[in-house]
């Protein structure tokens, strides 16, 4: 699947954009804990190249992003795109689909029952925004060092925490992380914390418009429940 990813990026122009993004990181001469890349993907085109990879991206996007991460890391090292990059864990890949299959199973409808949205895959949702919060900061990535000086993880970029979709802030930054090698406490290197913007949005299902039509003969009862989105 890594070969298919490379072929798709080359054909779609994604590889050229990736090289351009790497150049901006490399020209900054600043060492980052996490290098974040947004890759636009067309599920239909990928499915034509390799049906397995196309299905994997649609239904296991977090695991599929790891394949893109591996390919991007090899490309950076082979072409010497970012001199400061040390480990593959420093690369954060966000897959951004151009569209999803026009099928009911890909539509997130919170007015339908029962709810069966336990899988962490892509969904489409249509609604009406009723409230928006202010733009605040959140941690996209952070570097941690082992407090035991003799431990190999006390230097370099071996302990990297990267925000994943659906995770809370405490999953990325906390004070109780321990070293996986020697079990000593980990301490964050604040100089390398990478911040991003987030905004909280309240939405309601688009079916609320039916309630505003004023049909008095309709005796069905229903309630409208708002749901919260985190835009990052």
The pLDDT score that the predictor gives to residue 118 is 72
Q: E strands, 42-154, where? A: 91-97, 127-132, 136-146
The pLDDT score that the predictor gives to residue 219 is 57
Cα 220 to the chain's mean position, in Å?
Answer: 40
CATH label, 1-99, candidates 3.30.460, 3.30.1640, 3.10.530, 3.30.300: 3.30.1640
- Band (165; pLDDT cuts 50, 70, 90): confident
Q: What is the DSSP letter of 175?
A: S
Cβ(58)–Cβ(100) under 8 Å? yes
- Listed by start position, the domains of the chain span 1-99, 137-196
What are the residues facing 194 on neighbouring strands? 141
How far are the Cα atoms of 113, 114, 126, 230 from residue 110, in angstroms, in the given order?
8, 9, 10, 16
Q: What is the DSSP letter of 124?
A: B
Mutual angle of helices 61-79 and 51-59, in 10-degree steps? 120
Q: What is the DSSP letter of 108?
A: -
Structure confidence by residue, pLDDT tens digits, 54-109? 999 999 999 999 999 999 999 999 999 998 899 999 999 999 999 999 888 888 87
Residue whose entry in the numeric block shows the structure tokens 């899988």: 119
pTM (whole model) above 0.75? yes
The pLDDT score that the predictor gives to residue 166 is 82
Q: Does residue 176 have a pLDDT over 80?
A: yes
Mutual angle of helices 61-79 and 2-12, in 10-degree steps? 70
Q: What is the mean pLDDT of the chain?
A: 89
Name the maximum alpha-carbon separation found in the chain. Answer: 77
- What is the helix, strand, coil percentage profile of the chain, to 5? 35, 25, 40
Q: Does residue 186 have a pLDDT over 70?
A: yes
């Amino acid at each position: 699947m890594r070969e298919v990813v490379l072929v798709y990026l080359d054909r779609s122009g994604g590889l050229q954009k990736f090289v351009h993004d790497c150049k901006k990181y490399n020209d900054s001469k600043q060492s980052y804990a996490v290098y974040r890349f947004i890759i636009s993907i067309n599920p239909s085109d990928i499915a034509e190249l390799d049906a397995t990879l196309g299905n994997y991206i649609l239904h296991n996007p977090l695991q599929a992003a790891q394949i893109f991460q591996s390919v991007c890391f090899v490309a950076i090292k082979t072409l010497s795109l970012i001199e400061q990059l040390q480990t593959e864990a420093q690369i954060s890949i966000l897959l951004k689909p151009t569209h999803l299959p026009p099928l009911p199973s890909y539509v997130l409808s919170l007015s339908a029952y029962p709810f069966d949205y336990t899988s962490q895959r892509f969904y489409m949702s249509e609604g009406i925004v009723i409230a928006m919060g202010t733009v605040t900061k959140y941690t996209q990535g952070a570097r941690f060092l082992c407090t035991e000086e003799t431990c190999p993880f006390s230097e370099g970029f071996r302990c990297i925490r990267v925000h994943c979709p659906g995770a809370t802030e405490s999953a990325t930054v906390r004070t109780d992380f321990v070293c996986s090698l020697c079990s000593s406490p980990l301490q964050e290197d604040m100089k390398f914390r990478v911040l991003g913007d987030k905004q909280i949005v309240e939405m309601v299902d688009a079916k609320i418009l039916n309630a505003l039509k004023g049909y008095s003969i309709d005796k069905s009862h229903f309630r409208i429940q708002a749901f919260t989105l985190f835009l990052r």
